Amino acid sequence: MNKNLIALVIIIAASIVVSHPLLKPGLFMMHDDQQVARLFVFDQALKAGQFPVRWVGGLGFGFGYPLFIFYPPLVYVVGEIFHLIGFGYINSTKLVFFTGILFSGVAMYVLVKDLWGKYAALIGALFYIIVPYRALDVYVRGALAESYAFVWLPLVLWSLYKLSVTKNVNYAYFSAVFLALLMVTHNLIFLPFMLIFSMFCIFLINNSPNQVLLIKHLILSGLVGAALSAYFWMPALFEKQYTIVDSLLLVNLANYKIHFVYPQQLWNWQWGFGGSSAGLADGISFKIGKLHIIIAMLAVIIAFLGKYLTHPKSKVNSKTDNLVIIFFFLFIFSAFMATFYSKVIWEAIPPLAYLQFPWRFLTFTALFSSILAGAFVYYLKLPVVKIASGFFLIVLLLIPNLKLFQPQFYRNDLTDAQATSKEVINWDVSLSSFEYAPKGVELYRNDLGTNQIKIAKFQIPTQQIEPISGNPQITLQKTTPTQTQFQVDSPTASKIRTNIFNFPGWHLKIDGGQAIIDDNNTLKLITFNVPKGNHSVRIEFGNTPVRLLANFISLLGIAYLFIIAIKKWKTLNIH
């Protein structure tokens, strides 16, 4: 049987083993217990004709919410594909978790295979699948998008490596696509990854015989990747100012300064399902994995011994040793960035504050320790020793880590109807995440000392449109997450409120003419005056200039890649 096929079967089997709790009916308890609801509102917005989806109904305490202007949508696109095939919202969400595990294992195999061969690649893939931080991401935090970001990281490194080795511009385009996919999967992993990306690029340039060409290709990759994902990152960047995000994520419990990890926590810490706290009071574990750390150290020791003692003049071996050394450096850098010792770097790069939790850098320790596990096996030249050691490593990997891949509590009886009910979405899910509500909503300090929107459960709207003054007769004609249309018949001038957060992009038309929105109220709800008589009112969410420009740039990026692909296809046919 083909060795790649055997490896794929083993990777699939390992993915199923660590995903076995997903096979149960219902869903487990998780920190980010909003994934099913988010998929539901994404589905509703898409089916209402919104593309790309930016504004969703139901969230924001029933007032609507610009969720996908700021939150990367790709995992919900994947979930929507499963839902359209016929799976329910809960099962679609679980399938996204599973495919994230499976595809990331395959991605690691692709990278390490081109570095050090198939057997090393299989070991690296298994280390990447069965790593403690992944168990934390999936079964404790329920971080759907962050767990899916594992897929793109090895593929970015693979495309960069192939670009430097082959000098083939096609790999610049691959890199651009993978960078764009990472951005629209999890921008808060993309941001710190740019530090690592830059360091790896500098290493590749420094070791390239044709540095100018490689630099040109890397610039091309960056520009195309930025263009492809512009439809998301440009509005997210430039329209953040209209939200309360800075009032929430940069202060109090979400401030990164209280979430640094202590070095001893990276080596070993009791597994738990609590939260991240200041000092050593964390209720969850941030351990990298003892085996991952030990194997990474052994790999770099062998690399140093080979580079300076065993084969100092061998160019082939030196190339491998250099790669191992840079990967180990990036592993150590990632671990360092999770600890309070890196505080000076965090303060020097203010955008890192949006990461909230320095321990998110453990995504990268998982990445590089897994690559180094493959390198360690590669260094074992005798086939018998290589195979035996690999088998022994897998056993050592499974014994302490497999038990981590299970949730604390499972809700076997949870149904789609319960998880996507109006009450759950309007209140429970909305209360857990409201950082993108419009700036100006009234906030208060809760018992935990954090800012919260001043709203009680009884204030959740029961109807879309409410008269504030006058005695208008309102006939609702159409309502979707992005559009409300109705007739007003009033004997006097009246004031009407629609229970929708006002946000850039909302437009009000009365009898076809543009009208003024008044949001001077504690919840920034769309309010307006209607003259006496019978009038047609239309409220619609559309694009802002930034969104239009961003959409256009992304379309240009797609068109550019399409033209390049057509040209290359024609060239292949000619030859």
Check residue 295 and give its pLDDT: 97
In a domain, 183, yes or no: yes
In a domain, 555, yes or no: no
Check residue 381 and give its pLDDT: 85
In a domain, 566, yes or no: no
Q: Are residues 34 and 61 in the same domain?
A: no
Q: What does 440-500 look like in DSSP terms, one character per residue?
A: T--EEE-TTS-EEE---GGGS-SSSEEEEES--EEEEEEEETTEEEEEEEESS-EEEEEEE
Q: Are residues 188 and 273 in the same domain?
A: yes
Q: What is the spatial distance between Cα 59 and Cα 55, in angstroms, rounded to a whole number?
A: 10
In a domain, 504, yes or no: yes
Closest-CA residue to 111 (of 36, 175, 67, 181): 175
Check residue 535 and give its pLDDT: 95
Residues with Cβ within 8 Å of 203's Cβ and at least 6 positions away in sequence, in order, are 322, 326
Q: Are residues 258 and 358 in the same domain?
A: yes
Are the CB atoms for 171 and 159 separated by under 8 Å?
yes
Residue the block writes with tokens 């047609």: 536
The 10 Å CB-count burial string (b at 16+, else e) for 433-452 is: bbbbbbebbebeeeeeeebe
Q: Are residues 309 and 437 in the same domain?
A: no
Domain count, the chain: 2
In a domain, 465, yes or no: yes
In a domain, 239, yes or no: yes
Within 13 Å of residue 419, how many CA atoms lie on the same side as its CB?
Answer: 25
Check residue 293 and give its pLDDT: 98
Where is the domain boundary, 355, 377, 411? 411
Q: What is the spatial distance between Cα 503 and Cα 499, in angstroms, rounded to a whole number?
A: 12
Q: Are residues 41 and 52 in the same domain?
A: no
What amino acid occupies position 19? S
Q: Are residues 387 and 434 in the same domain?
A: no
Q: What is the spatial distance between Cα 569 and Cα 62, in angstroms, rounded to a whole number?
A: 50
Q: Are residues 125 and 261 in the same domain?
A: yes
Q: Are residues 391 and 500 in the same domain?
A: no
Q: Are residues 160 and 306 in the same domain?
A: yes
Check residue 278 and give its pLDDT: 78
Check residue 252 and give its pLDDT: 59
Q: How many CB atoms lie within 10 A of CB 206?
A: 10
Q: Are residues 405 and 458 in the same domain?
A: no
Q: What is the spatial distance between Cα 39 and Cα 32, in angstroms, rounded to a whole number?
A: 13
Check residue 250 and give its pLDDT: 65
Q: Are residues 55 and 122 in the same domain?
A: no
In a domain, 136, yes or no: yes
Are the CB atoms for 376 and 324 separated by under 8 Å?
no
Q: Are residues 60 and 141 in the same domain?
A: no
In a domain, 552, yes or no: no
Where is the domain boundary, 367, 389, 411? 411
Segments forming the whole domain that contains residue 352: 3-46+68-411
What amino acid occupies position 400? P
- Residue ranges, the chain, pLDDT below 50: none
Q: What does 224-292 look like in DSSP terms, one character per residue?
A: HHHHHTHHHHHHHHHSGGGBSHHHHHTSGGG-GGG-PBPHHHHH-----SS---STT--SS-----HHH
Q: Tokens for 185?
A: 């999967």
Where is the domain boundary, 386, 411, 436? 411
